[in-house]
Amino acid sequence: LGTGDLLSDAPLAVVTDDDALGALVRRLLDQEVWAFDTEFHRERTYFPELALIQLAWDDEVVLVDPLAVDIAPMADLLDGPGLAVVHAASQDLEVLLAVCGTVPRRMFDTQVAAGFLGSSTPSLATLLSSELGVRLPKADRLSDWLRRPLSARQLDYAAADVAHLVELHAKQEAQLLERGRLAWAEGEFAATEGRDPEEAWRRVKEARRLKDRPAAVARAVAAWRERRAAEVNRPVRHVLSDLAIVAIAQRAPRTPEELADVRGVDKGISKGAVGRSILDAVE
């Protein structure tokens, strides 16, 4: 693909067959560097619903449809010797960990690398434009990636996200080497182990301002919410709102009646088993 090319100019390979995926994995195991991205939804679930996997190496791009194939063989690729290139990896790694049980053994994150080269947290579009002169197709933020068939526009957009990552990696790696910062960046390319419930309170803005016992209660209740959301596979905000966590932390209820009076707590859950588990967390 030349600079600025749209991927619809050439047919895209979409893997919808288990044998084809196996052959693709075996081919990629021979690559020293390959790139990936994912498309997923998590508006109604705790665990992301994987909708598409994009893979690229050399001048090739292949899309994998996880709704049509068993992606378990992808674990062999992730555990393989090749270097996986990705942009802003955290959520993609969470997806892979959930569906494959593993994440890339070796990884290069182009957004992290950009930080060590003087940028803050640039978007992929910004990086590709400034470093390679590549223009990405416009994204559709409301695109339904779980709908089939996917449109040509969706496929173009998905493929464009990985088509130039290997080339971008090569340029960034050379710049990092020149500046003596490659080892620093590699120290930050650490794979995620998923969400740690004990760290969930950090994502509750108001909880970060609490101190002493209210802070301890907020941490315990936020950890409970994270585990409960994973158990029932629902978004954390559907289990208990951030407002409720902070209000519980401030009031430290001891009885179902006190819990029911806390702002943001659904009175229907305050007297049942869920309410008791919240009170256990408070205690």
> Highest mean pLDDT: which of 50-54, 134-138, 233-237?
50-54
Q: How confident is the model at residue 138 (pLDDT cuts 50, 70, 90)?
A: confident
92 in active site: yes
Determine how many CB atoms are found less than 10 A away from the CB of residue 74: 24
DSSP class per residue in 7-73? GGGSPPEEE-SHHHHHHHHHHHTT-SEEEEEEEEE-SS-SS-EEEEEEEEETTEEEEE-TTTS--TT
Cα 50 from Cα 44, distance rounded (Å) = 13
- What mean pLDDT do residues 113-128 have? 92
pLDDT exceeds cutoff 70 at 1: no
Which residues is 14 bridged to in the sheet? Answer: 63
From the list 49, 161, 167, 173, the catalytic residue is: 161
Instruction: Round the average pLDDT of the chain to a whole number and report it.
Output: 90
Cα 100 from Cα 86, distance rounded (Å) = 17
Share of the chain above pLDDT 70, in %: 93
pLDDT exceeds cutoff 60 at 129: yes
Global pTM reads 0.76
From the list 46, 49, 65, 92, the catalytic residue is: 92
Q: If you count them, how many residues does the chain have?
A: 283
Cis? peptide before 149, omega within 30° of 0: yes
From the list 39, 49, 167, 173, the catalytic residue is: 39
From the list 65, 94, 109, 157, the catalytic residue is: 157
161 in active site: yes
Rg of the chain over Cα atoms, rounded to whole angstroms, equals 22
Cα separations in angstroms, 85 against 56, 274, 275? 9, 42, 44
Position 6 scores a pLDDT of: 33
Contact 37, 162 (CB under 8 A): yes
140 in active site: no
Position 196 scores a pLDDT of: 82
pLDDT exceeds cutoff 70 at 59: yes
157 in active site: yes
51-55, 135-139, 221-225: least confident range: 135-139
- What mean pLDDT do residues 19-38 have? 97
pLDDT exceeds cutoff 50 at 8: no
